[in-house]
Amino acid sequence: MSQKRVRKARKKDTVCQKCQIKLEAEQLFCFECGEPTSVLRDDLSALNNIKEVWSKFKGVKGSYFPFSIFYIIVILLPLFAIIFLTHNNYWLNNLSLLIFLPLVFIPFNFDFNDESGSGMIGRYFRSLAKYPTLFLFTLFNILFLLILKYVCTSVDPILNLVRLIMVLYWLSVVVPLPFVLLRKGLSPLKALKVTYKGGKETRWQQFFTYLLLALINIAGLIPIGLGLLVTIPFSYAVLERYYLQMDKYNLFGKDVEL
């Protein structure tokens, strides 16, 4: 959406289109009738966010190729190998992921929307200092999933369906956590509280974003994986921009500026 159209939409949203109550600037819902404003349809829309990122990213995508090659060789292929080789041993699988998964989250510390891909490999190694924080985040998630597995499988096998739903919901809650952790230096528990509370209004848009990015990366695998050279950095850029948009509307709290 053009800046002119966005400004026009926001101007229109100073009055609720349903009950005509005057609204505060950049309000997501009418406090009187609950009618959503254009913010959720525009700035916090999954599709609009992806389109906005692509309009800028497509012109510099080639600069990310060295980082993407590094990411595939050093992170993605070893991750697939770990999952494949340890999938029959639950404890070994989780221990391996506990050690390795923090490396997957480090790119959340990059400014994909403010810089090109040049120098990102060096930035990655410098960001390894964040590994202990991301290790705690990974441990926190593994323990939660372990408790969920124990509760659901020990009571009634039918609860496995409940477990699947809980896992999907949990993912929609915790995916923003590495971003907030690295940008604000919060503890995992504090960051979880911030992202859980802040994501209530955008949970479906976030989930839709993750689903679309999963499909985009699956499509990137089709031409012998060459599409991943573009889809990997593009995915991080999309997530970064969406969380910055959430912060713009104080969804992570006014005292948690990113």
Tell me, what's the pLDDT at 190?
Answer: 82
Model confidence band, residue 50 (pLDDT cutoffs 50, 70, 90): very high
Range picked from 19-28, 187-196, 229-238 for highest mean pLDDT: 229-238
Q: Is the pLDDT of residue 255 over 90?
A: no
Q: Which helix (H) or strand (E) covers residue 221, if one does?
A: helix 203-221
**132-146, 162-176, 210-224, 237-251: least confidently modelled range:** 162-176
Tell me, what's the pLDDT at 7?
Answer: 45
Q: What one-character DSSP code corresponds to residue 75?
A: I
Model confidence band, residue 242 (pLDDT cutoffs 50, 70, 90): very high
Question: Cβ distance 39 to 248 under 8 Å?
Answer: no
Model confidence band, residue 182 (pLDDT cutoffs 50, 70, 90): confident
Tell me, what's the pLDDT at 6?
Answer: 44
Q: Is the pLDDT of residue 167 over 60?
A: yes
**20-34, 68-82, 147-161, 201-215: least confidently modelled range:** 20-34
Sequence-separated (6 or more) residues with CB below 8 Å from residue 179: 108, 239, 240, 243, 258
Arithmetic mean of pLDDT over the chain: 83
pLDDT (average), residues 141-159: 81
Model confidence band, residue 254 (pLDDT cutoffs 50, 70, 90): low
* Structure token digits, residue 228: 């991943």
Model confidence band, residue 171 (pLDDT cutoffs 50, 70, 90): confident
Q: List Cα–Cα distances, 140 to 92, 127, 152, 189, in angstroms.
A: 17, 21, 19, 9
Packing angle of the helix pair 90-105, 131-155 (nearest 10 deg): 140
